[in-house]
Amino acid sequence: MGKKYFKTRSESDNDNNQNDGNVLTKVKPKTKKPSLYKVLMLNDDYTPMEFVIEVLEKFFGKRQDEATQIMLHVHQKGIGVCGIYTYEIAETKAVQVTNYARKYEHPLQMQLEKE
Ligand code: TYC
């Protein structure tokens, strides 16, 4: 008969090993990392640059210098990344920005893209 193996409490609570009595076998982790989504901003001809900078500060926690860089990138390239989040947070931010822009009658558009 093989030697018995006792795990410490923290080992048996947390790890991915399976004890078959003799050897520890690595098994597939039971937890999955959530998928991430880019929140993209689209350029348009009407939304004021200052408003876009304000949105990036207010909804994406950007400082003024970084917000300005992102806004100029979108202005020049047509599209840019505001932030990367799990689905629920990304979707919420896109909706909040769209609603905020509509309140001030700006046509600013947002999109989500799976990473
Ligand atoms: N193109 C706009 C302008 O010249 C500025 C702008 C930048 C609009 C980024 C939208 O996502 C945008 N006023």
Does 20 have pLDDT greater than 60?
Answer: no
Closest CA to ligand 1's atom 2: 45
C-alpha 68/C-alpha 32 separation (Å) is: 36
Helix/strand/coil for 38: strand
The pLDDT tens digits for 73-112 are: 999 999 999 999 999 999 999 999 999 999 999 999 999 9
User: Confidence band (pLDDT; 50, 70, 90) for 26?
Assistant: confident
Cross-strand pairs, 83: 39
Instruction: Indicate which residue's Cα is closest to atom 12 of ligand 1.
Output: 43
Question: Which pLDDT band holds residue 22 (cuts at 50, 70, 90)?
Answer: low
Six token digits for residue 15: 């790890």
d(CA 40, CA 74): 9
Atom of ligand 1 nearest to the CA of 75: 7
Alpha carbon of 56 to ligand 1 centroid (Å): 12
Q: Whose CA is nearest to atom 7 of ligand 1?
A: 75
CA distance 97 to 58: 9
Determine how β-strand 79-86 pairs with β-strand 24-26. unpaired
Residue located nearest, by CA, to atom 10 of ligand 1? 43
Q: How far does the centroid of ligand 1 lie from the alpha carbon of residue 7, in Å?
A: 60
Element holding 14 (H helix, E strand) = helix 9-14
Pocket mutation for ligand 1, best pick of 40, 71, 106 (most atoms within 8 Å of C-beta): 71
Which atom of ligand 1 is least distant from the CA of 49?
5
